[in-house]
Homo-oligomer: A and B are copies of this chain.
Amino acid sequence: MAEKVYQCTVSAPVNIAVIKYWGKRDVGLNLPTNSSLSVTLSQDDLRTVTTASCSKSFEKDTLWLNGHVEDISTSKRLSVCVEELRSARQGLEKEDDSLDKISQLKLHVVSKNNFPTAAGLASSAAGYAAFTEAVARLYGLPWTPTQLSRIARQGSGSACRSLFGGYVAWEMGELHSGADSVAVQVEPVEHWPEMRVAIMVASAAKKGVSSTSGMQSTVASSTLFQKRVKNIVPERMQAMKQAIRKHDFETFAKLTMTDSNQFHACCLDTFPPIFYLNDTSRAIIRVVENINAAAGKTVAAYTFDAGPNAVVYFLEENSAYVLDTLYAVSRNAQGWEDSERNPTSVKIDDVASETVLSGVSRVILTKVGDGPRLLSSEESLINEDGTLKDA
C-alpha cells in the first residue's frame, strides 16, 4: 500500500522596500542594522507558488526550486527554517494525541516563481515566505504572520515582509536572539488600494555583487553608513508610516526616492565601491523627474534594489499620465501588449529617453496586493502519490 502524502500549496508575494534594508548586525540570524518598510505587490502578477509535502516514503528533505533540485540539509538557511517549523509541529503532536505524527517525516518542497530568479526582483523574499507559509500550513501551526516572519527572516531577511499584504514594516528589534526582529503590517491593502507599480527591467542578468557580501562590505567600510542607520532611518520609518496612514503620496514618494538614493550612496561609499545603478537606471530617474516636473507635483517615485531595475510607484488616478510617459520611453519593451497607451504630453530629456529605450527590455505593470494565499489542491505542484507534477 502506498504511504499517505500530506501536502499543502500556497503562493506568496514579492515586496519592494521603500525604506531599504541594507546591512546585517548578525549574519547568522539575518538581523538587520535598521528597520525597513515595503509595499507588497499583487500575486496576480508576480508570485512564488510552493507546495510542501511530507510522507513516510520520502527519503530526505528536498527542495525543487524552479526545477533545480537541492538537498535541504546542505543549505544552512533552509535547514534553520525547517528545524524551527518541525520542532513546533512536534510540540503540537505532544500536546494533542489525535494529530498525525508527521513532524518526523521527510519533506518534499516544490517552488516556482513566475518571474526570472535573481533579476533583482526579490525572488528570495517571495521564495522563503512561500516556503515558510507552506510548511507552517502543512504542519497546521496556529501562528500569526508576525510569528512566521521570524522564521522566514532567517531564510532571507526581506522574506519576512512578504508574509503580509499591503504596507509592511520589518522592525529591526533589539534582542540578540532576534525574537523581536519581525514583520508587522502597517496598513492592509484595503487602506490604500490605489497604489500602482511599474517595474522597468533594465537587466535580467544575475547581479554582480550578492546582497549578503555587499551588505557586509558596506557595514565594514562605509564611513557614512552608521549615520544612516542610527539617525536617518529611524526618522524616515516614522515619517513613512505617517504618510501611508494619511494617504500622503507626495511624502511617500519623496521618502521612497531619497531612501533609494541613500542606499545606493552607501554602496558607493563602500570600499571597493558597489554599483547597482547603471546609465539606464539613471536615465529612468531623469524621466521620473521629468514626469513630476510636468505635473507640477510628485506623482511618481522611483526606487532601486540591488540591481539596475527601476520600480516606479504612482497612484491609480495618475496612472494614464505616468504610464503614457513610461511607455513613450520604453515602447519596445515586452509587457506593454495589454496596455492601451496614448502619446505623452511630458517633455522628456532626449538623452534619458534614448538611454531608456535601448536599456529597458521588459515592463511589469502591477499594484499593491495581499499576503500569502492558500491555494487549492488543483494548483499543487505535487501529485497525490508524491511525485512531481511535471517531473
Contact = CB atoms under 8 A, between A and B. Distances in A.
Interface of A: 221, 223-224, 227-228, 231-232, 254, 257-258, 261-262, 264-266, 268-273, 275, 278-279, 282, 285, 289
List the 8 closest A-B pairs by CB distance, nearest first: A265-B269, A265-B265, A227-B227, A265-B268, A224-B224, A279-B279, A261-B273, A223-B232
A228 B258 CA distance: 18
Contact of A275 (B228, B232, B270, B282): B282
A262 B258 contact: no
Q: Can you tell how many copies of this chain the complex includes?
A: 2
Interface SS of A by simple majority:
helix
A261 B268 contact: yes
A145 to B, nearest CB: 32
Which of A279, A285, A289 is most buried by chain B, counting CB atoms within 10 A of its CB?
A279
A278 B280 CA distance: 10
Nearest to A285: B273
A183 B224 CA distance: 27
Which of A266, A268, A271, A279 gathers the greatest number of chain B CB atoms within 10 Å?
A: A268
Given A273-B285, A278-B279, A223 B262 contact: yes
Contacts of A269: 224, 258, 261-262, 265
Contacts of A272: 285, 289
A223 B228 CA distance: 8
Given A224-B228, A262-B223, A257 B282 contact: no
A220 to B, nearest CB: 13
Given A223-B227, A261-B270, A264-B268, 14 more contacts: A221-B258, A223-B228, A223-B262, A224-B228, A224-B269, A227-B227, A254-B271, A261-B271, A262-B268, A262-B269, A265-B266, A265-B268, A265-B269, A275-B282
A287 to B, nearest CB: 12
A299 to B, nearest CB: 15
A224 B227 CA distance: 7
Contacts of A223: 227-228, 231-232, 258, 262
A98 to B, nearest CB: 58
B265 A224 contact: yes
A279 B282 CA distance: 10
A218 B285 CA distance: 17
A349 to B, nearest CB: 10
Nearest to A231: B223
A19 B250 CA distance: 37
Nearest to A261: B273
Contacts of A224: 224, 227-228, 232, 262, 265-266, 269
A4 to B, nearest CB: 53
